[in-house]
Structure 1
Amino acid sequence: MVALWDSFGRVATDLRVSLTDRCNLRCTYCMPVEGLAWLPREETLTDEEVLRLVRIAVTRLGVTEVRLTGGEPTVRPGLVGLVARLVALRPRPQVSMTTNGTSLARLAGALRAAGLERVNVSLDTLRADRYLAITHRDRLADACAGLAAAAAAGLAPVKVNAVLLRDVNDDEAAALLRWCLERGYPLRFIEQMPLDPQHSWDRGVMVTGAEILARLRSEFTLTALPGRGSAPAELFAVDGGPDTVGVIGSVTAPFCAACDRVRLTADGQVRSCLFAREETDLRTPMRAGADDAHLAQLWAAAVRGKRAGHGIDDPAFAQPARPMSAIGG
């Protein structure tokens, strides 16, 4: 087995697999209200191709965790069957999913039965009017029902991811935390990142991790916890614990030096960093008949070229051509 080492000594063991670039929401920081030009169906990896590439990652390249993302992964047909096939791989990877939760009331039980272990659910507000303004869809009740269904099905821990937008929902930090604590959902706040297709991200109006912590500390006692490792979130015990809250400061407090992630897009491109401007095509050689060994070599070479950091603070930084919905979280 060949480990996915890069030239800075990091080892990628966590694979994020985008199953689709499509989504049933239109979050303002992710895509325009009219949507995007979706990948043509023939360019999207089939279930067999996803399974083959993940098998190569697990059996030849040392990947131990697989996170299914999108777009919105639950809009992909056959998701439950694909999960069952992924967890049947040996050695068995940990398989989880990031979702907006709107379909979990319908799918959570079947996904858990198929072997999915846990979910992260995006929820930025508790107010229906704000949810509609942010997502352009009236689906707050569905998202909340999805969270409850995931917890009932045993997809634990059911984590909540929230992005605070200035003058939109940035007054809800404490309310979101209190709501999650009452229901046993670990909450992670994520700084808004420059991954929107409109390229309208403005660091000057981004709600920073420091601001988020200040707002939480107005109502809670937070104690920083050690031992972060490669986890993206800095964790804090809430009011002495055991409950925690996390802040993912991708922009102001990057964790690139400990990053253990690699990404596979829905059209079969390897990305060594969320903000990478380079990709390595696995779909074309795979469809041309490349064997597993060759595909593994291409994948390993892609990770070896990973940069030291995302470079957002570099004056020459430029957003990747793909938006978040086409990369996978």
Structure 2
Amino acid sequence: MTTVETGLLDTFGRRAVDLRVSLTDRCNLRCTYCMPEEGMQWLAKDTLLTDEEIVRLVRIAVGDLGVREVRFTGGEPLLRPGLVGIVAACAALDPRPELSLTTNGIGLARTASALAGAGLDRVNVSLDTLDPGTFRTLSRRDRLADVLAGIEAAHEAGLRPVKLNAVLMRGVNDHEAADLLAWSLERGYELRFIEQMPLDAQHGWVRENMITAAEILASLGTRFTLTPEPDAARGAAPAERWLVDGGPARVGVIASVTRPFCRACDRTRLTADGQVRNCLFATEETDLRAALRAGGTDADVAELWRKAMWGKKAAAGTDAPTGIDAPAFHQPDRPMSAIGG
């Protein structure tokens, strides 16, 4: 059988070709929409996948299961000591996957050049505000200058286009949407706004407090003319894209809650401790780490992975197409920092 025939399919006909690999659950920020200021219980070190195990799983995903894109996430992936080596090993695979990184940007100023040299293709950096005081409020740390330096370093290292991810919080930074876009356009960065999802460790998410895609677009519309990008079907891409003032610059809005893209989802996820999650909101996991450490073959691991994806539900971990809005929706016990973005 060919790789296509034996890829990561589910019962709805969706094929996973985009792998998200969490390298650590640890982070050097404490963003209010992600984790509490104190008291996080980190994964034990011996439960984390080794560098070699990560590369082996990526090789199986790419070589045997049809994965084409690999994104390294966390936690904060720049905290992983072997990150550059992992990137280099994955860049040497044949076929070579597209390699990207989602980061808060702290530490990127000193690592961007090495990561680019190792084969990283691009980065996504979280940037919710340009105001130092608001940054402290949101992240509980005074590190905005480090984030901005990291973004600039990534751009200079050729990791372009640098993509920025912004989450707007009602009454905190929701007034900054247009300022963030103007700042990004001036520097050649691509900005994407993301609706806040129920993935915080405290389980304090309330739908009514979320800034919706419609509100974001209305706010941007007070300063910019936005038109849907032509000939750009959303497909499996999470962001709906808009040309700004006629283009070519554009902005993305990821309406994960109000306009979910579950029907076209093409993602599979691997946690830092080696668990496959077929959805961000899945309530079940499949342990690939145990299979590796028990001496399982590549074929054994691939079959476990296929079975995990075959059980993927319709939307947001539920059998209902409405996903998060379904009565059966249940916020996962693992927070986003432990699942991987």
* Contact 1:272 1:302 survives alignment (8 Å): yes
Q: Does 1:207 align with 2:219?
A: no
Q: Does 1:31 align with 2:50?
A: no
Cα distance in 2 between the residues matched to 1:144 and 1:35:
28
Which residue does the alignment assign to 1:318?
330
Cα distance in 2 between the residues matched to 1:88 and 1:126:
37
Matches within 5 A, 1:260-275: 260-275=266-281
Which residue does the alignment assign to 2:320?
none
Matches within 5 A, 1:1-329: 1=3, 2-225=6-229, 226-310=232-316, 311-329=323-341
Give, as a single letter, the amino acid of the residue that structure 1 aligns with 2:97: P
Q: Which runs of 4+ in 1 moved over 2 A?
A: none
Q: Show CA shifts across 1:266-293 (max 9, x none).
A: 0000001111111111111210111110
Instruction: Give the unaligned 5+ runs of structure 2.
Output: 317-322
Give, as a single letter, the amino acid of the residue that structure 1 aligns with 2:339: I
Give, as a single letter, the amino acid of the residue that structure 2 aligns with 1:175: D
The Cα of 1:60 is off from its aligned counterpart by 0.4
Query: The residue matched to 1:237 in structure 2 has which SS?
Result: strand
The Cα of 1:317 is off from its aligned counterpart by 1.3
* Percent sequence identity over aligned pairs: 67
Cα distance in 2 between the residues matched to 1:256 and 1:312:
11
The Cα of 1:35 is off from its aligned counterpart by 4.9
* Contact 1:223 1:237 survives alignment (8 Å): yes
* Contact 1:26 1:35 survives alignment (8 Å): no
* Contact 1:7 1:306 survives alignment (8 Å): yes
Query: The residue matched to 2:324 in structure 1 has which SS?
Result: coil
* Contact 1:44 1:268 survives alignment (8 Å): yes
Q: Show CA shifts across 1:130-182 (max 9, x none).
A: 00111111110000000000000000110000000000000000000000000
Give, as a single letter, the amino acid of the residue that structure 1 aligns with 2:75: G
Cα distance in 2 between the residues matched to 1:250 and 1:87:
30
Cα distance in 1 between the residues matched to 2:306 and 2:156:
39
Give, as a single letter, the amino acid of the residue that structure 1 aligns with 2:27: C
Query: The residue matched to 2:19 in structure 1 has which SS?
Result: strand
Cα distance in 2 between the residues matched to 1:294 and 1:85:
22
Instruction: Give the unaligned 5+ runs of structure 1.
Output: none
The Cα of 1:316 is off from its aligned counterpart by 2.4
TM-score when scaled to structure 2?
Answer: 0.96
Cα distance in 2 between the residues matched to 1:159 and 1:285:
36
Cα distance in 1 between the residues matched to 2:282 and 2:188:
35
Give, as a single letter, the amino acid of the residue that structure 1 aligns with 2:297: D
Give, as a single letter, the amino acid of the residue that structure 1 aligns with 2:335: P
Query: The residue matched to 1:119 in structure 2 has which SS?
Result: strand
Alpha-carbon RMSD across the aligned residues, in angstroms, is 0.7
Give, as a single letter, the amino acid of the residue that structure 2 aligns with 1:254: P
Aligned residues: 329
Cα distance in 1 between the residues matched to 2:233 and 2:262:
16
